[in-house]
Amino acid sequence: MNKQLLSKERKQYIRNKKYKQYLIWLTQIGILIAFLAIWEILANQKVIDSFIMSQPSRIWETFTNLSSNNLMEHIGVTVYETIVGFLLGTGLGILIAIILWWSDFLSKVAEPYLVVLNSLPKVALRSYHYYMGRSRNTSHYCNGSSHFFNCNNIRKPKWLFKNR
């Protein structure tokens, strides 16, 4: 746009918008700096427990130590594995969905199993070897366990045949 075509009021309006945007940005940075400074001071004065809440200087020190140990390489591997896992899972899910859509027979056969799998918490589908609490054998109840079947549902098999 040609600057000659802008009126004096339009130029003033644009200048005011830029100034307001600059003021907002400056205030945001100031709030961040004040927050970090207060956090650091309170941690140094033992007002807050730096073991639980840490402090900005310790976080920065840890970050710089991590970056000296090939942090970017590890981040790259994690991002790569995440993208590959997402694409494989999505591709497999789309393929299974197409197969179930085309085959009425397979769709009817798989329906109760898919309903059960969909109702489970996703953490229950993980491998049995990674405990996140007590295992099922340590208690009559399933407190803290995440197994393929929910313990309450195993004791009452009517849940499998609901609305059939």
pLDDT of residue 30 exceeding 90, the answer is yes
Categorise residue 139: left if φ over 0, alpha if ψ from -120 to 50, beta otherwise.
beta
What mean pLDDT value characterizes the chain? 81
Distance CA 85, CA 106 (A): 26
Distance CA 110, CA 35 (A): 54
Which structure tokens are listed for 150? 């929910």
Distance CA 154, CA 61 (A): 51
Domain ranges across the chain: 1-69, 70-102, 107-164
The tens digit of pLDDT for each residue in 102-128 reads: 999 999 999 999 998 888 887 776 655
pTM here is: 0.43
- In angstroms and rounded to an integer, the radius of gyration of the C-alpha atoms of the chain is 29
pLDDT at 69: 78
pLDDT of residue 58 exceeding 90, the answer is yes
Distance CA 68, CA 60 (A): 12
The tens digit of pLDDT for each residue in 141-154 reads: 444 544 444 454 44
pLDDT at 55: 93
Distance CA 96, CA 20 (A): 53
For residues 25-43, give the mean pLDDT: 97
Q: Which has more pLDDT, 50 or 100?
A: 100
pLDDT at 138: 47
